[in-house]
Structures are given as structure tokens and as C-alpha cells.
Structure 1
């Protein structure tokens, strides 16, 4: 699963908490726990005829007022803050408003970059002081925030977001451990816990040096509960990947099934390597990409758990 999909899964799973973080006043007037997520493929026409346009998340949320019409919450997630987002969000807003004829609350999430924290941005267009276009939207930018503050919050999604923030107390490896510790010691369970751990383990990348520090910290007795949680998550993730990959790759010898199986196994392998050794060198990634055997990839997934180094991984 891509980082984009993982972020969408995180926000949709903890949607009520997310809305209280980014738009607390609006959240009090809504019932976010009853939100339903809509088809994100909005239009095939304007402004690019025939081009499929898709928003990241679009939720229909009931209001507290009896018999009041629902509100649409539109969320866009950017890996890094960039220029031109105001215009893009405004175009999405117009299309959503025209299609559904409902009030729209727009939220932009910047995983990296942007003004730290939660804020309100306003797009204005016009020739004089009476601008005909005034478009406000909420923005949450993570990387400049202080992780220590967010880890102290009660909302589980805040603990996940904290892993991408800066810290005055911890290194990157220590911060990742602290985020996982917050999850391990919480009452969050089931699919919600799995979503948190999956996001923290997959989206939070460490350099080789930080990855080595992370493994050292993980081995400490005080982090036993984190090791157990990580092992449980890893077992479930690899079991799903192996089961789905092998089933699709071998069922009736279908070429498309085998192709998808190979992709799933490569993803599981790269995640395992990044977890143990940090960023995978491009040269090794190209060698792994050339492997088309499901059985060979399954073998390498297992070896990735015990190989002393990346150099030893492909040694027969």
C-alpha cells in the first residue's frame, strides 16, 4: 500500500478525531462518527475534457441540527507543501458544490513543509476590495510541529502524526519508538491499532544510522511491549501478503494474477529491508525489481528477517 493510501486510511479510520484536530468549532456542529465516504472519482469533463479527476477523501457528515442537510468534508493530502494548491482546492470546491449542492468544508494536510500546525488560509480573487471570490480552507502542516506536544494529546491520530514532527528531546529513532509506545500502552485495539502501526512502520522512514539506533532501542527490555506489537503487526501483514500473493500468482496460472503477486511480494520485501537497514540502495532495488518468481521473493522476505546485512541478502 502506498504512503498516499496509508494516509487516507489513517484519516478515514480516525475521522472524528481528525476533524476535531483541524476544525474543532465545525466538528461540534457535526456528527463525524456517522460520516460516510463517497466515490472520489468526481468528474470526467471540465476543465480537462475526458480526464478522470479524483479527490483524496470526500465524506458526507450529518449535522447536529435536526433535519439539517449534511455537510461534505473534502480532504487533500500532500507529501510536501507546494505552490498552486489554493487554486486546485478552489476548483475542487466548485465542482463538489455544483455536483452535490451541499456545504463543503475543505482541509489540506501537508505531511512535510508549510506553516506548522493548524491554520486557516483564504483565497481571494477580484479587481477591487469587493473580491467576488473568498474561499477559506483549513490547513494542517505536520513537519514543523513539536512532536512532544502531539504525543500528549488524547487522539490516537495525533500520535501517528507526531512521528513526522520535530522533537526537542528525541532523535528520529527515539521519536518513532515513543510513538509506538503511545500506541502499545493505549486501549486502541483491533483494526484501529493495526492502521496506526502500519502507518508508523511504513510511512516513517529512517536513515541507515537511525535504523540501526532504532533496532538497538527496540531490543531493550523496556521496549518489550513494542517488540510484541511490532511482531504481531508484521506477522499479520506478511501473512496477508503471502496468502494473497501466492493465491493470485498460482491460481489457474493467470498471468495477471502472477504479476500482482510479484508486486505484493516485492512490496513486503522492501518494507522488511527498510525496517531493518533503512533506505534500500537503488542498485539493490533494481536487482530485486528484476526478480519475477513468487517463490524466490517469498524466500527473500523470510531471509530479510535474519540477514546480517543487505550484501548478504542475495547470496545463495
Structure 2
């Protein structure tokens, strides 16, 4: 069995995106299959899982190089099997994608001569309307129908994975189908999952780095997130605030600044001078004068 991620090396942004997926799937291959392809997961012998060397293929039609960044071999019910997982991390669809999948399937089969289970992961924002197959036929004869498993993240309901405690599902919340109004809730539920999974620091950083690359909150959304976390169970909220996340550090800084301004307002109401308030709170004179104008 082989897990393969195919990379189109046409831009630095694309390569960076693919590297995130590559690292995520390398680290959590079993969890990935468990979350999105449970039937495949049930039939794999993970004790026989081993990495193979990278492969380089040349697209003879377009003259492009494609590298198979991840190739893992394992057994499927005592049978050596080759699996191709093709991650498509572009923000736009590729023409003739199904034919490309068949092309790389053929190249790998010619090399290894083992059964192959191809899987495509679509992570771009647009939803596909194509079927997951490539067909060669004539009016007088049907030659073949090639099919592959596929995961379309934008069609996935993130709420369906809240209680799975699956690290890959948590990371991929950021690429699933949520609305702008749901962003704060998505991140809150992601953080709750991250706490419950109790990952080591390295794995937690990997999951968090992936998530924050694709789901970012503006300042008002960050404040809303902080307030909603404070309303959770005390033990759970404390655990979340212990996470080494950039949002938390930003939130703490914003919280300190808010407290300073609240203190300054109280001092202004007591009639203290701007100079004294600035000395105590470390706020600038202009900030304090702006606060005075609001009284």
C-alpha cells in the first residue's frame, strides 16, 4: 500500500500549501483515514506501514514535473497494496484532473505492479461538479472506467467532526464548509478539541500551525472568541488559555490594554491629572485624552 502526495511545483505559495498537507498526513496518516475513509482504515494493517523513496514523474503532455512527496507502503488484508493519495492544494481547479489521476495511477502501477487505491483531496475553495472517474470509450466499445476516492473539504460539515477528537479533522476544520458568521465558533470548537486530545507540544504546534494558516480572525472576532471561551467551564477555559497559540498571546495583550484603559477611565472620573494617569497606566497622553473625550 502506498500513500502518495503529488506536488505541482509552479509557485512558492503552492509548494508551501502542499508542504503543510504533507507534514499533516505524514504525522497523522491513520487518523486521516479514520476520519474521512473509515472503511479503508478498517482494512489496513498499520503495523506494516513503511515509507518509500520519493518518486518523480514527468507529465509528457504538458512537460511538467510532478513529485510524489509522500509514499507509504502497507498491507491490506495480507495483500501488498499500493495507495495513491493525491492532495490538490490549489485555490483553483485543474483542467483534465481526472485524466491526470489516471495518468499517475498508470505510472505508479507500471513501476510497482501492485493494486492501487487512488484518493484525491480537494482543498480549494470552489466546489467541484465533476464525477470522480475517467473514461475511455468508443461508440462501438467501452475500454475502461477509472475511478478514485475523493475528499472535497468544502463540502464537509465541520460540525460532524466536533466530537471525534481527531487531530486531522481538527486541523481541516479550517478548510471545511463554514460561513463567515461561523468562523469564531469554528475556532472555539477547534480549541476545545485541541485541549481534549492532549497532544504533545510538537504535534499540537503542527495542528495549530495548519489551522491558523487557513482560518484567521479579525480583531473584533478575536475579542468575541476570548469572551466566549471565558463563558466555558472554568477548567476547560483555563486549559484553553494555557495553549501556546498566537491568538491567545494577542488576546492577552489586548486584555491588558483594555484593563489599562478601564483603569484610566476610573482615574479620570476621580479627577486625576492626565500626567499622573499616564505615569501609572503607561498609556500615552493622546490615548488618555481620547478616553477623556468619551466621558
TM-score by shorter chain over 0.5 = yes
Equivalences for residues 148-297 of structure 1 within 5 A: 148-167=159-178, 171-206=182-217, 208=218, 211-218=219-226, 220-221=229-230, 222=232, 223-231=237-245
State the distance in 2 between where 1:113 and 1:8 align: 21
TM-score (norm. length: structure 1): 0.61
- Which residue matches 1:139? 150
- Which residue matches 1:102? 114
Q: CA deviation at 1:141?
A: 0.8
Larger relative contact order (Cα-Cα within 8 Å, sequence gap ≥ 6): 2
Contact kept in structure 2, 1:110 and 1:140, CA below 8 Å: yes
Change (3 A) 1:168 1:40: same
Contact kept in structure 1, 2:126 and 2:154, CA below 8 Å: yes
Q: Which is richer in strand?
A: 2
Contact kept in structure 2, 1:37 and 1:58, CA below 8 Å: yes
Task: Give the structure with higher Rg (CA).
Answer: 2
Contact kept in structure 2, 1:30 and 1:63, CA below 8 Å: yes
State the distance in 1 between where 2:47 and 2:183 align: 33
Equivalences for residues 7-86 of structure 1 within 5 A: 7-32=21-46, 34-44=48-58, 46-47=60-61, 52-65=65-78, 68-80=79-91, 82=93, 83-86=95-98
Q: Tell me, what secondary structure is at the counterpart of 2:127?
A: coil
State the distance in 2 between where 1:216 and 1:33 align: 45
State the distance in 2 between where 1:113 and 1:60 align: 32
Q: Tell me, what secondary structure is at the counterpart of 2:171?
A: helix
Unaligned runs of 5+ residues in structure 2 are: 1-14, 255-295
Contact kept in structure 2, 1:113 and 1:142, CA below 8 Å: no
Contact kept in structure 1, 2:50 and 2:74, CA below 8 Å: yes
Contact kept in structure 2, 1:60 and 1:73, CA below 8 Å: no
State the number of aligned residues.
Answer: 230
Is 1:126–2:140 an aligned residue pair? no
State the distance in 2 between where 1:29 and 1:97 align: 21
State the distance in 1 between where 2:46 and 2:69 align: 17
Q: CA deviation at 1:158?
A: 1.4
Q: Tell me, what secondary structure is at the counterpart of 1:143?
A: helix
Q: Tell me, what secondary structure is at the counterpart of 2:197?
A: coil
Change (3 A) 1:203 1:34: farther
Q: CA deviation at 1:106?
A: 1.2
Change (3 A) 1:185 1:24: closer
State the distance in 2 between where 1:234 and 1:214 align: 7
1:209-230 Cα shifts (integer Å, max 9, x gaps):
xx43124423653444223213
TM-score (norm. length: structure 2): 0.65
Contact kept in structure 2, 1:31 and 1:61, CA below 8 Å: yes
Contact kept in structure 2, 1:125 and 1:133, CA below 8 Å: yes
Q: Tell me, what secondary structure is at the counterpart of 1:123?
A: strand
Contact kept in structure 1, 2:170 and 2:194, CA below 8 Å: yes
